[in-house]
Copies of this chain bind each other. A is one copy, B any other.
């Protein structure tokens, strides 16, 4: 019965576009909260996993989206978000007037403002709603959302937000502000990972006991959320991607674009971006972002811990 509403549902119909590690968890959180959820992804495997978990597959997006009360877009970037809305098979013209579009991709605030204006011209409410919290919290409906949009956009999105997030920051009454807050967070996160890797590998170069460095720094004024979270990967020599180098190639790239456009110098972010580019260029783009430590080690001869077999 793909494509037809599940009449046992009481919360309305939600379409989730993008069933990656975040989108899958968000789709299942919506389902758990009583939404009738249809999922779409370019990967047939991802859709199959969603169906196996009890979700319904989109059959034809531009058709199925007509019944949606809310669409949650959990794609990678601004270009994909624009494609979802206004591309060749875009949904902007099919969405119900008065329904809500929740845009979760991290993007330049200027683009969020542009997309929102284009969609709202069609009577659909755009909520600028970047997320944070990671896959585990997405699966539990415990994300943090940095949201901005019109009161109507918040109203259209409210039930879905409540299902997916424990913390929704309401950051303004227009699209772009949510994106701007998220980019400030990404600037700091990206710089802090690079600083953490610069520091721990410098400690290795000097022959310090790295477990002790971790113990001392996490109890000192040099600590950061990212140092505490990422350096254990370096200590274990395990660069299995929890969050990949390419994420910060993208996000610090957006910071550079914003900085250029705003005429605002960002020397720290610029230096950090070069390290992510080096890691990506060296073939580590899909590895964990703590792989910056391996670049520092390559550039200096420092010896880092190797993964236990």
Chain A residues within 8 Å of B, Cβ to Cβ: 109, 132, 144, 146, 167, 169, 171-172, 177, 180-181, 184-189, 191-192, 194-196, 198-203, 205-206, 208-209, 212-213, 215-217, 219-227, 229, 258-259, 262-272, 274-275, 296, 299-302
Given contacts A188-B195, A271-B270, A264 and B202 within 8 Å (CB-CB) = yes
Note all chain B residues with C-beta closer than 8 A to A199. 184, 187-188
When the two chains form their complex, are residues A202 and B222 in contact, meaning their CB atoms are under 8 A apart? no
Note all chain B residues with C-beta closer than 8 A to A271. 267-268, 270-271
Task: Across the A-B interface, give the 5 residue pairs with the lowest CB-CB distance, nearest first.
Answer: A188-B222, A224-B224, A185-B222, A271-B271, A191-B195
What residue of chain B has the Cβ atom nearest to residue A292's Cβ? Answer: B268
When the two chains form their complex, are residues A262 and B188 in contact, meaning their CB atoms are under 8 A apart? no
Given contacts A222-B184, A223-B224, A262-B205, A268 and B177 within 8 Å (CB-CB) = no
Note all chain B residues with C-beta closer than 8 A to A272. 267-268
Given contacts A146-B216, A171-B212, A208-B180, A188 and B269 within 8 Å (CB-CB) = no
Note all chain B residues with C-beta closer than 8 A to A267. 198, 271-272, 274-275
